[in-house]
Chains A and B, each alone.
Chain A
Amino acid sequence: MYKYDSYDQTFVDARVEEFRSQVERRLSGELSEEEFRPLRLVNGLYLQLHAYMLRVAIPYGLLSSEQMRRLAHIARRYDKGYAHFTTRQNIQYNWPKLVETPDILAELASVEMHAIQTSGNVIRNVTTDHFAGAAADEVADPRPYAEIIRQWSTLHPEFGFLPRKFKIAITGAAKDRAAIRWHDIGLIVKEQDGALGFEVVVGGGMGRTPVIGKTIRDFLPEAELLSYLEAILRVYNEQGRRDNKYKARIKILVNEMGEETFRETVESEWKLTRREAINLPENEQRRISAFFKNPPLPVLEDPRFTEAFIAPNFHAWVKHNTDEHKVPGHRMVTISLKPHGGIPGDATADQMDLIAELADTYSHGEIRVSHEQNLILPHVESRQLPALYGALVAAELGTANAGLLTDIIACPGLDYCALANARSIPISQEIAERFDDITRLTDIGELKVKISGCINSCGHHHAGHIGILGVDRKGVELYQIMLGGSGAEDASTGELLGRGFEANKIVDAIETVVAVYLGERQTEERFLDTVRRIGNTPFKEALYGTA
């Protein structure tokens, strides 16, 4: 993985000292909250319902075991002994004290981490495929480009005060595990005539107005990445709406300008930016790429697990929570942070320490955070799976539900968030408890449930096979259901079924939806494919008695 040199380290150290002085000025009263707000936000510090919340960047979801241990230490020393992994591959601490936040940032800087641009109207942490570099279906490793974009976007002088936040995701695989078409910019690494480049997708986004991103360029040569991004960002900075924050994302600009005009505007700006010294020098690109070579992994035979190995649910866990590695005899292991009854994405400091240790033992010290709020050990020898599984189960990290109905994405909701209308976490817990049986979950198969506690859709409900949206109706929390969304390469927006259900009825309603699917599905058909084939009507009839 990428290692800081003295330039990078000097930069983040300076950032910590800068923030320390800002916090001191705030505590002494020299800065008002209004003046402090933009300063804390660009350092990831939010003021939430009950307390400050610090969001730490995990660049493109990649962590070393050493970094994970430091995150655990911070949870223990400065918070309540746990932390929350987010849908943008970041980590959040929900109870830091303002006076201690500079110390937390200093702890992070000591392991080459930071919280720069994890909030505010700026280019946020670049996200990518959590299987990057290891997946068997990969054209090229997207992480070097993600690091290049991280550096270019850090304190970019012109793009520090954009109309709204700006999210970039990149993948290098055929299967989209990074929700590329739901981002402000999505990049797909491609090969054309023996050369690498990108398909450039712009204007995807969730929120109140879900929009699937549009391809504005089929192939951008890899060397020209930064000049093209700079052109898109300049057009957005100048022309994106600033009169209404709900219409300020680039998706609205693309729709209002029209896809063709937007493309032409970007391309004519690119004619200018590509002549400037914006693209990365070739040597520098090589230097960065070299950091992402995989550890030496021997080609091995895949073992056959005999009865002697069988722990409860081991086979289900291998089936759901491990994926094909590009090197035979290895698997990519998903550690579910969705124990039934737990809080999606939360991990205790002890669990984080254990995962760091398991990464050292089984995965060359490497860990990934997925946008589905799970953790990945990317390079595990298949023959080690029984031992690894045993260690995970003992720490309540062995739930065999990756990609299944209880692998739920949920936003923090009304339990933490100042914007929420409804609780998300308790609903996800009740659903998981209702569908606790792994055999039943396995039978239901791939089914992505995503819950948001308000229209801002941090829980990605628009992209859920089943999306659940919490709304407030005259002081009562109601939950609406939408079906047919997807965050994958077949991206689509879920369609609302009808009126919302009260908190004590929503889990029954989900059970009804699943029952309709089980009754209607054809052999091997996923939930999403059944919904696409039969439409919403049978589900509406079952839930409301009418179509």
Chain B
Amino acid sequence: MELLNLTTARVANRAIGPNATPLNEISTDSDSPSLGEGGLLVWADSPLESILPHLEKAARVEIHFAAFGDGRGFSLARRIKRDAGFKGEIRASGNLIPDQAVFLARSGFDSILVEEKNVAAFLNMLSVYKGYYQRAADNTASIAEQRQSKVSANG
């Protein structure tokens, strides 16, 4: 597997790191302040409420997609950032297709684990479009906002 950095649109120059601790394996009586370097493993269909109590112990949340068609993972990433104010890394893994690279980056994911043979396809997808129509979790200006700032710059 390779780790892609969705912000720089390159292969990350750091190790994938140890495995994350699955949400259903966190022991409830543990008073350890941290889940360790691997962080927390959740699924695209994990309810936000089940994740919230563990977020402050995690430096990273890995959202695993069992099937690429399960779009819940995109909304979950958005909520972990927006509603829970999580500042750490959100990583995508599992059954994903290259065409989802941009969707992941724009829904709040910071990195993605992909098979080596798919690295080029995923990276290519990140540079297909020069702009997007809506404001999303990546907080870049939408095409509408770009239009308006161009008008005011010219005007």
Contact = CB atoms under 8 A, between A and B. Distances in A.
A160 B100 contact: yes
Q: Which 7 A-B pairs have the closest CB atoms?
A: A161-B71, A157-B106, A157-B103, A284-B144, A151-B133, A158-B74, A277-B135
A278 B144 contact: no
B74 A7 contact: no
A237 B72 contact: yes
A284 B82 contact: no
B104 to A, nearest CB: 8
Interface in A132-189: 151-152, 154-163
B97 A35 contact: yes
B152 to A, nearest CB: 9
B70 interface: yes
9 contacts: A8-B143, A11-B131, A17-B128, A18-B128, A158-B74, A158-B78, A159-B71, A276-B135, A278-B134
Interface string B78-89: 100011000000
A164 to B, nearest CB: 11
A283 interface: yes
Contacts of B5: none
A76 B136 CA distance: 41
A151 B69 CA distance: 23
A39 B82 CA distance: 30
Interface residues of B, number: 41
A35 B105 CA distance: 21
A238 interface: yes
A277 B144 CA distance: 11
Contact of A161 (B69, B143, B148): B69
Given A7-B147, A157-B134, A158-B107, 15 more contacts: A18-B128, A38-B69, A38-B97, A121-B71, A155-B132, A156-B133, A157-B103, A234-B75, A237-B71, A237-B72, A237-B74, A237-B75, A238-B76, A242-B72, A284-B147
Contacts of B148: 281, 283-284
B133 A283 contact: no
A427 B135 CA distance: 48
A156 B132 CA distance: 8
B37 interface: no
B134 A152 contact: yes
Nearest to B141: A277
A281 B102 CA distance: 24
Contacts of A158: 71, 74-75, 78, 103, 106-107, 136
Given A237-B74, A237-B75, A284-B144, A11 B129 contact: yes
A10 B69 contact: no
Given A10-B130, A14-B128, A277-B135, A162 B71 contact: yes
Interface string B117-155: 000000011001111111111000011111110010000
Interface in A279-331: 280-281, 283-284, 287
B71 A155 contact: no
A157 B144 contact: no
A161 B68 contact: yes
Contact of A281 (B69, B70, B107, B144): B144
A153 B145 CA distance: 16
Interface in A251-291: 272, 276-278, 280-281, 283-284, 287
A376 B42 CA distance: 52
B70 to A, nearest CB: 7
Most buried by B among A7, A162, A272: A7
Nearest to B131: A7
B99 A38 contact: yes
A155 B74 contact: no
B102 to A, nearest CB: 7
A159 B71 CA distance: 7
A443 interface: no
A122 B148 CA distance: 28
Contacts of A237: 71-72, 74-75
Contacts of A437: none
Contacts of B131: 7, 10-11
Interface residues of A, number: 41
B57 to A, nearest CB: 24
A38 B105 CA distance: 19
B42 to A, nearest CB: 14
A5 interface: yes
B106 A278 contact: no
A161 to B, nearest CB: 3
A383 to B, nearest CB: 42
Most buried by B among A5, A163, A280: A280
Nearest to B144: A284
A152 B75 contact: no
A151 B68 contact: no
A404 B147 CA distance: 46
A272 B79 CA distance: 11
A5 B147 contact: yes
A265 to B, nearest CB: 13
Contacts of A272: 82-83
A157 B70 CA distance: 13
Contacts of B143: 7-8, 11, 151
A150 to B, nearest CB: 9
Interface in A1-23: 5, 7-8, 10-11, 14-15, 17-18, 21
Contacts of A242: 45, 70, 72
Nearest to A277: B135
B107 A278 contact: no
Contact of A155 (B68, B76, B105, B133): B133
Contacts of B82: 272, 276
A104 B54 CA distance: 51
A160 B103 contact: yes
A231 B85 CA distance: 19
Contacts of A154: 133
A287 B70 CA distance: 36
A8 B144 CA distance: 10
B99 A39 contact: yes
Nearest to A7: B143
